[in-house]
Chain A
Amino acid sequence: MWSKKELPSRASGQGQDSPMKDDAFVLRVEDIHKKFGTNEVLKGVSFNVRKGETIVFIGPSGTGKSTLLRCINQLTIPEKGRVWLHDDEVTNSGPKISYFRQKIGMVFQNFYLFDHLTAVRNVEIALLKVKKMDPESARRQALYELEQVGMKGWADHYPAELSGGQAQRVSIARALAMDPEVILFDEPTSALDPELTREVLEVMKKLAKSGMTMLVVSHEMGFAASVANQIIFMENGNIVEQGPPDALLYDPAYVRTRKFVGQFADLTQRKD
C-alpha cells in the first residue's frame, strides 16, 4: 500500500549515507524482501539500530513483523536484502550464522522453553553445547541469569510448572545467557494476562535501562511510550513511519499511523 517513495524522510532511518561503515550502529537492516509463495510479506524494509536503543515495532497483524525479526537472525531467509551486526554480514554467513544467533538473542510469544529441561537447564543448555562452557561455569552463569529475571528460586522447576510470566522470564534469561548484543522480542507478552504481562515488562524495562539493545514487536503502548527510543509502524510489509514515541504516538505524520495508534488509545480509555 505504501511504496518506499511515499515514506517520510525520517522513516528511512539514520545513517543512510554511509550504511557500510558506521560502528555507531549495532545492527543494520537493509532492503529486506521476503515472499511466501506469491504472498509478498516484506517489501524492502530498512532500518538501523544504535547501541543501547530500544525499537518497538507496531502494526496490524499479518504485516510481516515476526517475519522481519526472523529474517534478522536468519530463521527465515529473505530473498533479498542484507543484515549486518557491526561490520559483519549476518545474511549469507554460512555456518557462521551460529555465532550471529548467539549475538542476536530471541524471545518468542509462546516462550518455547524446552519441555524436558528444568529452568536452569533451559538456560545452561546452549552455554554447554553451543558455547562449550564447562559445567560449573555454565551452571553459575545460568543461575545468575535466572536471578536477574527473578527466577532463581524456580531453577529446578520444569516449564509445565511455571506460569506464563515465569516461563517468559526464563526464556529471557536463556537469551541473556548467550551474552547477546541485541535481543529480538516477538510479542513477548501477547500470550499473557495483564498481571503476568506486567512482570515481564518490568524485566524488559530493567534490561533496556541496563543498556541492552532491543527490538520489540509489541502492542503494549505504555511500554512503547516509556521505554522505546524509536517506534516503527509497519503495514503490509513496509515501514510506514518511524520516529521517537512522542512524535509517532502523539503526532504521527500519516493518517494510517494515526488510525492504528488511535485504536489503542481507544482501547485503554474504554478499559479505564
Chain B
Amino acid sequence: MEPAGFITDILIPALSQGLVVTLQLIVLSAPFGLLLGIGISLGRQYGGKNLSNICKLYVIFIKGCPLLLLLFILYFGLPSVGITLTAFAASVIGFILCNAAYNSEYIRGAILSVKDGQTIAAQALGMTKWQVIREVVLPQALRRAIPGLSNEFIYLIKYSSLAYMLTVIELSGAGKLVATKYFAYNEVFIAVGIVYLALVTFTTVAVHYLEKRVAVPGMIH
C-alpha cells in the first residue's frame, strides 16, 4: 500500500507537474488549431480551385489518419528526412494539425449558413472580398461554430494524453508513472480522471459564458 502522505507528498506534486505540461500542450495547440482551421475553411470556400482542393485533401488526410499514427510520423518518421523535433514539439504540431482539420469543417459549415444576401450587400457598400469575409462572414460564422469548436477543444484536452506515447510526461503519463511505482492504479487513475473532468467542466462553463457574451438576438447558433 501507499506510504503515509502519499496524496499530499507524492500524488499531488506529480499530477501537478503533469497538469502543467498538459496545459502547455493545450494552450499552445488550441489557438493555432483555431487559426489554421479558419485558414483552411477560408481556403476551401474562397480560394482558387487548387487551394480549395489542397484544403479538401488535407482534411481528408487528417480525418483518415489516426492521431497516434500522425504523432509517430512527426516524431519517429521525420528525422529520416532530416527534421528532428522534440517530443513536445512533435505533439503540439500533431495536435494543431488534427485540431485545425476538424475546426475547419465546423467553420466551413457555419460560413455556408451565413446568408448570401449579406455578402452581396457588403460588396454593394464597396467592401473588398477580404473585408466582407472579416467584417460580415467570419463574425457570424465563428459565433455559429462555437458549439462545434468547443467540442473539438474538449477532444483536444483528452487526446493531449497521446503525447505520453512520445514520452512527454503530461497528466496521464505522470499518473501512469506514479501508479506503477506505488502500485496504486485505482487511486491514481481516479484522481487523474477527476482532473480531466475538472478541465472539461471548466471549459464547458467557459464556453457557455462566451456564447452568452457574444450572443446576438435572432442569430441561432
Kindly list chain B residues whose C-beta atoms are within 8 Å of the C-beta of A106: 121, 124
Q: Is A126 a contact partner of B219 (Cβ separation < 8 A)? A: no
Kindly list chain A residues whose C-beta atoms are within 8 Å of the C-beta of B124: 73, 75, 101, 105-106
Binary per-residue interface labels of chain A (90-111) against chain B in the complex, 1 for a CB within 8 Å, 0 otherwise:
0000000011011001101010
Kindly list chain A residues whose C-beta atoms are within 8 Å of the C-beta of B135: 114, 125, 129
Given contacts A116-B140, A126-B127, contact A161 B218 (CB under 8 A): yes
Q: Is A116 a contact partner of B217 (Cβ separation < 8 A)? A: no
**Is A264 engaged at the interface, CB distance under 8 Å to the other chain?**
no
Task: Write the chain B residue with the least CB distance to A158.
Answer: B217
Mark B residues whose CB is within 8 Å of A: 115, 117-118, 120-128, 131, 135-136, 139-140, 143, 216-219
Count of A interface residues, CB-CB < 8 Å: 27
**Is A174 engaged at the interface, CB distance under 8 Å to the other chain?**
yes
Kindly list chain B residues whose C-beta atoms are within 8 Å of the C-beta of A247: none
Can you name 18 A-B pairs with beta carbons within 8 Å? Answer: A101-B126, A108-B120, A108-B121, A112-B118, A113-B118, A113-B121, A114-B118, A114-B121, A115-B115, A115-B218, A115-B219, A116-B216, A116-B219, A126-B126, A126-B127, A158-B219, A174-B125, A178-B125
**Is A160 engaged at the interface, CB distance under 8 Å to the other chain?**
yes
Task: Write the chain A residue with the least CB distance to B127.
Answer: A130
Minimum CB–CB distance from B64 to chain A (whole Å) comes to: 35
Task: Write the chain B residue with the least CB distance to A131.
Answer: B126
Interface centre among B121, B124, B218 (most CB of A within 10 A): B124
Kindly list chain B residues whose C-beta atoms are within 8 Å of the C-beta of A130: 125-127, 131
Chain B's interface: helix, strand, loop or mixed, by majority? helix
Minimum CB–CB distance from B112 to chain A (whole Å) comes to: 15
**Is A164 engaged at the interface, CB distance under 8 Å to the other chain?**
no
Interface centre among B118, B123, B128, B139 (most CB of A within 10 A): B118
Kindly list chain A residues whose C-beta atoms are within 8 Å of the C-beta of B140: 114-116
Q: Is B218 a contact partner of A112 (Cβ separation < 8 A)? A: no
Question: Of B122, B126, B139, B218, which is within 8 A of A102 by CB?
Answer: B126
Question: Of A110, A126, A174, which is within 8 A of B117 by CB?
Answer: A110
**Is A64 engaged at the interface, CB distance under 8 Å to the other chain?**
no
Binary per-residue interface labels of chain A (157-199) against chain B in the complex, 1 for a CB within 8 Å, 0 otherwise:
0111100000000010011001000000000000000000000
Given contacts A101-B126, A126-B127, A130-B125, contact A161 B217 (CB under 8 A): yes
Could you tell me the distance between the alpha carbons of A32 and B121 in the complex, rounded to whole angstroms? 22
Could you tell me the distance between the alpha carbons of A101 and B131 in the complex, rounded to whole angstroms? 14
Minimum CB–CB distance from A138 to chain B (whole Å) comes to: 13
Could you tell me the distance between the alpha carbons of A178 and B117 in the complex, rounded to whole angstroms? 19
Could you tell me the distance between the alpha carbons of A142 and B125 in the complex, rounded to whole angstroms? 14
Question: Of A98, A112, A125, which is within 8 A of B120 by CB?
Answer: A112
Minimum CB–CB distance from A216 to chain B (whole Å) comes to: 16
Q: Is A129 a contact partner of B131 (Cβ separation < 8 A)? A: yes
